[in-house]
Amino acid sequence: MSRNRYLLGNFAPVTEEVTAHDLPVTGRIPDHLDGRYLRNGPNPLGIEDPVAHQWTLGAGMVHGVRIRGGRAEWYRNRWVRSGSVADLLGEPRRGTPVDERLDISPNVQVAGLAGRTYALTEGGIRPYELTYELDTVGPCDLGATPEGYSANAHSLFDPRTGELHSLAFRYGSDQVQHIVMDAVGAVRSVTTIPVPGNPYMHDFALTERFVVLYDTPVVFSAAHLATGVPFTWDERRAARVGVMSRAGGGVRWFELAPHLVGHTLNAYERTADSLVVDVVRHPPGIDLRRLGASRPTLDRWTVDLAAGTVKEERLDDRVQEFPRLNSLFSGRPYRYGYAAAVELYAPPAGPGDERPAEGFSNALLKHDLLRGTVEAHEFGRDGAVGEGVFVAAESPTAEDDGYVMAYVFDPERGATDLVVLAAQDFAGEPLARVHLPVRVPLGLHGNWVPGGEPGAPDGA
């Protein structure tokens, strides 16, 4: 048996697509919730080299639970069928990609926009459209530009304007594009931004007036293509944060201590000349092939546009990733954030220890940034949990009036639950546990996508 930590325990891929109806529930799902909880992540087929396999590689598999009227109507998991995935499954190909070399199954994010569902990734790889039931339609042109860029995994929806923003990069290119789409995904504007050295620009941020960019010493490396993770740390390169008007134009760059931004929690304008940017920050020298050896923490940058300076401070030194917030407060002053606690890398304890050596832990965190406090909800030994997604209550009276939803492994059943927590009673007992019939491997990003039947407006 391979001892690759990414092929063991809760990282191990599943081998079948499953459809289950009328799922059992412990507790009570809030009656007003009507939509789908979706999450994407790598789930490889036909691993060529089990020893060298990396977790972030592999075809995307989307897992979804349909909720309505206090019931969990169905669970489905489906591979995103790029050409190579369809071939491996012995099925006809779905649609025609723009570039066969970049026809890769998106495995990072899944989102809804204007009644349609999309699987997304980055690096110039096109999104794939899915049906409401998560079957693959084919590659699509969401956010596509003539230069070959398109909407990417960390596209940001602005609930006030109805716009969808992407900061799209391509492997091997010295520029990125800020793409603004309307409420149905049509491109409204494109701004091309030079970034010499091809930095790995995985995420970005929006405020009411600005786009915030991260340029770090992690850069594309053709020499590392064979490893499956084509990036390296460039000691000669500075780290910096850039601020650009949402209307386009030039970028003002501000130098920072060396780091890699994992993901953005939020950003907002404190004053007319001051921005706050809250990020999960990985320390210098990070190797993307050994992410579990890193110690990502929640940090804050306060950018003084008038003085041309940045103040850097630590908000929380717990090791964490995958931050989320109430999306109605995206780009605005806010109080609460949520993240997944992360375990550090540790070698196997001995010959009989085949547990994964790194990854998510058994806890979600709730940050109160006003009080400077953190609550944890722990799911018990081996209760591995990934990203938690905030869903607002029906008529919310406070920023944290709502729910945090996540897939959590139940070791007693050997399968996964969709857990619904009351955000205002974060450490308390879950409101509901939807018992799935199978294990959901640890994955990447997802969303709550409101909307009833196929063709109904989803939101984003």
The answer to whether residue 459 sits within a structural domain is no
Edge-to-edge strands, sheet with 446-450: 19-21, 71-79, 60-68, 35-42, 446-450
Q: Give the integer Cα–Cα distance in Å for 436 and 415.
A: 7
SS3 102: helix
Q: What's the distance, Cα to Cα, between the start and end of the chain in Å? A: 42
pLDDT recorded at residue 455 = 45
Domain of residue 373: give its range: 5-450
pLDDT recorded at residue 359 = 61
Contact 57, 41 (CB under 8 A): no
Q: Which two tokens stand for residue 284?
A: 């210098």
The answer to whether residue 455 sits within a structural domain is no
Contact 209, 268 (CB under 8 A): no
| Count of domains observed in the chain | 1
The answer to whether residue 456 sits within a structural domain is no
Helices and strands (DSSP H and E) totals, the chain: 1, 32
The answer to whether residue 460 sits within a structural domain is no
Contact 366, 343 (CB under 8 A): no
Contact 230, 171 (CB under 8 A): yes
Residue type, 393: A
SS3 179: strand
Q: Give the integer Cα–Cα distance in Å for 12 and 58.
A: 12
What is the CATH classification number for the domain harbouring 269?
A: 2.120.10.30
SS3 288: helix
Q: Give the integer Cα–Cα distance in Å for 316 and 338.
A: 12
Q: What is the mean pLDDT of each run of 10 residues along the chain (460 residues)?
A: 75 95 98 98 88 85 98 98 95 88 92 95 93 97 93 94 94 92 95 93 96 94 75 92 94 95 97 97 82 84 97 95 97 98 57 49 95 96 92 97 97 96 98 98 96 51
Q: Which two tokens stand for residue 372?
A: 């400077």
pLDDT recorded at residue 292 = 64
pLDDT recorded at residue 357 = 42
Strand bridging mode 175-181 / 164-169: antiparallel
* 186, HSE (Cβ side, Cα atoms, 13 Å): 2
pLDDT digits (tens, 9 = 90+) for 213-232: 999 999 988 777 767 678 88
HEC secondary structure over 304-324: ECCCCEEEEEEEECCCEEEEE
Q: Give the integer Cα–Cα distance in Å for 274 and 254.
A: 13
The answer to whether residue 409 sits within a structural domain is yes
What's the predicted TM-score (pTM) here?
A: 0.93
Contact 382, 359 (CB under 8 A): no
pLDDT recorded at residue 133 = 97
Radius of gyration for the chain, computed over Cα atoms and rounded to the nearest angstrom: 21
Contact 376, 342 (CB under 8 A): no
Residue type, 412: E
Q: What is the DSSP letter of 385?
A: B
Contact 143, 150 (CB under 8 A): yes
The answer to whether residue 457 sits within a structural domain is no
